[in-house]
Structure 1
Amino acid sequence: MPPFLTAALPVPHGFFTREGGVSAGRFASLNCSLSGRDDADAVRENRRRAADALGLGPDRLVGLTQVHGVAVATLREAWPETDRPPADAMVTDRPGMLLGIVTGDCAPILFADADAGVVGAAHAGWRGAVAGVVEATIEAMEALGAARTRIAAAVGPCIAQESYEVGPDLRDALLAASPKGEAFLAPGRREARWQFDLPGYCLMRLREAGVASANWVGDDTLANEGKYFSHRRATLAGAGPIGHQLSAIALPER
């Protein structure tokens, strides 16, 4: 079974690493992205292994066409692999459906209100986080009967501040959203550059939204090459396309 990290969430879930799959080369080995250049059969086997590790079949694992926005899809029944909605978060109140987000430096965020029987999963790059994907996911969960004061949330492995140098475009957008964004920028190593704390920023947005608990499981995707795919690491090395790790959550079947 492929290894995965867990958080203080009261439902089946996992933040998977890049280990334990069948993909080769730059996609080695547990690449779970359906949108890349990896062999499609290898990706399906990787996703099957991940679903099995969480006690569910591969037919229960549902994904999105992620677009770095704030749209949230509500899952009532599994949509076809070839017709995934363009969104960066999804929510459901259907037991046994496994919500899967893929990332390669962006922050995966998993949400659960076990009392209401509602879960959610979000892909939060800096654009989505600043634009409000966290709050949009919580609101979509509330529409299914969740209460934000009961929601437990966890931010998975993502690029950490030490590894995340950003330019004026990110800083300007961050500060335009709220002056509080300044607290998540540290001086960069070069002029007109800053180090951005993506997991810390996501946690701030979660806590200000009023969830019951929010934590980061840790791990810097860029700094741990053997354990995680990293888009920025590959870009800096001129390495071309890479794989993406999976984070997933489900309500237990009754």
Structure 2
Amino acid sequence: MERVMAGLPVVTGPEWPGVNYFCTTRAGGVGVAPHDTLNLGLRAGDNPDAVAENRRRVRAAVPADPLWLRQVHGSEVGDADQPGLPPEPAVDASVTAQPGRVLAIMVADCLPVVIADADGAVLGAAHAGWRGLSGGVLEHTLAAMRAKAPQAKAWRAWVGPGIGPREFEVGQDVLDAFTADDPATARYFVPRPGIPGKWLADLAGLADFRLRRAGVQEVALSGLCTVTQVESYFSYRRDGQTGRMALLAWLNPV
């Protein structure tokens, strides 16, 4: 669903007790093409002053400074509550049990995924491109959350805007990465007509499959495609040089 947070157009999913989360769009910022307008990525080739202003605007919509990550398309998870964290941990997911601790994930076709328990006791956010997804980033995030809150139950997840199943052309390596883990995932790949050795992959469907297999009972998919919805979302696959949106998530302050 679409909302406005501190003047920024954002999208979000189902309401969860004790949890707030949203994903920014490309609207509401100060950037110029090809980063127009709300680019939040420091390494996307944009003017650093524009990125700083855009991050300032996002900061006004959340209760504390976000934990920005240096995402590496892997599957490691950082503990956002650990003291002495570097400014940008080189991980692709983070977890927290601290109210008001803001997690952040940047995307521009990869999936932003937020996970929480039914009582809002623990929270996780993950960057799920095909490498991280096949490498277990969602399962690792859930495992880290279970370790922080052993009493937590009734897991739920929201999968935000990402590259859609009609746009994500992949090769044999991507198909093999998933089917080697579980042959049942082959159903999320459709041969590309007229192009041997190429498939169209349903990245959100793969995330849904792996989340449910890991024990997440409720999974909501945004159904929003970053490639086709040009006015709303940055897309690396579509544009090459472009900006980054961000998923922001936090537990309600006590």
The alignment's TM-score, normalised by the length of structure 1, stands at: 0.91
Task: State how many pairs are aligned.
Answer: 245
Secondary structure at the aligned position of 1:135 is classed as helix
Partner secondary structure for residue 166 of structure 2: helix
Of 206, 221, 224, 1:219 maps to: 224
Q: What root-mean-square deviation, in Å, do the aligned CA atoms of Structure 1 and Structure 2 show?
A: 1.7
Deviations 1:126-182 (A, max 9, x none): 011111001000000011115564221100000011011111111121211210120
Counterparts in 2 of 1:171 and 1:31: CA distance versus 1, 3 Å:
same
**1:125 is aligned to 2:129:** yes
AA aligned to 2:178 is L
- Give 1:14 shift: 0.2
Match for residue 238 of structure 1?
none
Q: Distance in 2 between matches of 1:69 and 1:133?
A: 7
Greater helix share, structure number: 1
- 1:45-194 superposed matches below 5 A: 45-53=53-61, 55-57=62-64, 60-76=65-81, 83-113=87-117, 115=119, 117-145=121-149, 149-189=153-193, 190-194=195-199
Residue 209 (structure 2) pairs with residue 204 (structure 1)? yes
Which stretches of structure 1, 4 residues or more, deviate above 3 A after TM superposition? 77-80, 146-149
Contact 1:148 1:210 in 2 (8 A): no
Q: Counterpart amino acid of 1:100? A: A
**Residues 100, 65 of structure 1: alpha-carbon distance in 2 compared, 3 angstrom cutoff:** same
CA distance in 2: counterparts of 1:147 and 1:68, whole angstroms: 30
Superposed CA deviations along residues 8-66 of structure 1, whole A, max 9, x for unmatched, are: 2421110111111111121110111122221222212212222323x424xx2111110
Instruction: Give matches, 1:10-21, under 5 Å.
Output: 10=16, 11-21=19-29
Matching residue's letter, 1:223: T
Q: 1:127 to 1:70 in 2, by over 3 A?
A: same
Range with greater deviation from structure 2 (203-212 or 82-91): 82-91
SS in 2 for 1:105: coil
TM-score with structure 2 setting the length: 0.91
> What is the one-letter code of the residue matched to 1:35?
R
Gaps of 5+ in 2: 1-6
Q: Which amino acid in the other structure matches residue 7 of structure 1?
A: G
Task: Using the TM superposition, name which of 84-93 and 112-121 deviates more.
Answer: 112-121
Q: Deviation per CA, 1:63-92, whole angstroms, max 9, x where unpaired?
A: 111011110000116877x73111000001
Question: Which amino acid is the alignment partner of residue 230 of structure 1?
Answer: S
CA contact (8 A) 2:26 2:232 kept: yes
Indicate the SS of the match to 1:66. coil
Contact map agreement 2:68 2:87 (CA 8 A) in 1: no
The code of the aligned residue for 1:86 comes to: A
- Percent identical: 38
